[in-house]
């Protein structure tokens, strides 16, 4: 079996490669016409108009919470010679101080969210 043979193209016998080359030339001419028409169609367009669009984007902002001062703790001034009753009262007072101080810290932390 022989793949290269003669083909009938427009009434005359030509080789396979000549037929392919003629087909490619015709195809390229057609693409050239289409390309010219595409360029011609684009030349009549008006310049694009500039439209400004407002886009809201979240931006990180540093937290401006007030500084919370550490209170003077009630049990900080205790001495070894103080009575047990004085020590217990000071520790209970310090517990209340710590609860209030923690609430202030939590309020400042939630204000920054």
Answer with the residue of higher pLDDT: 34 or 92.
Answer: 92
Token pair in block for residue 19: 């037929």
What is the Cα–Cα distance from 6 to 24, expressed in whole angstroms? 18
Token pair in block for residue 60: 């990180």
- Taking all residues of the chain, what is their mean pLDDT, rounded to a whole number? 78
Confidence category of residue 9, pLDDT binned at 50, 70, 90: very low
In the chain, where the domains are located: 6-40, 74-111
Helix (H, G, I), strand (E, B) or coil at 54: coil
Helix (H, G, I), strand (E, B) or coil at 15: strand
- pTM exceeds 0.85, yes or no: no
Percent of the chain at pLDDT exceeding 70 = 60
Q: Which pLDDT score, from 0 to 100, does residue 14 have?
A: 60
Answer with the residue of higher pLDDT: 49 or 40.
Answer: 49
Beta strand ranges found along the chain (DSSP E): 6-9, 12-15
What is the Cα–Cα distance from 10 to 22, expressed in whole angstroms? 11
Token pair in block for residue 112: 């920054």
Q: pLDDT digit string (tens) for 82-108?
A: 999 999 999 999 999 999 999 999 998
Residue 78: CB partners within 8 Å, gap ≥ 6? 86, 87, 90
Rank 63-67, 94-98, 109-113 by mean pLDDT and report only the highest: 94-98
């Amino acid at each position: 079996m022989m793949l290269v043979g003669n083909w009938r193209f427009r009434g005359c016998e030509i080789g396979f490669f000549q037929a392919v080359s003629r087909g490619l030339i015709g195809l390229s001419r057609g693409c050239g016409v289409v390309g010219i028409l595409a360029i011609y169609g684009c030349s009549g367009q008006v310049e694009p108009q500039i439209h400004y669009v407002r886009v809201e984007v979240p931006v990180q902002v540093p937290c401006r919470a007030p500084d919370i001062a550490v209170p003077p703790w009630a049990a900080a001034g205790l001495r070894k010679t103080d009575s047990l009753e004085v020590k217990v009262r000071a520790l209970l007072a310090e517990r209340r101080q710590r609860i209030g101080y923690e609430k202030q810290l939590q309020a400042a932390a939630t204000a920054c969210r």
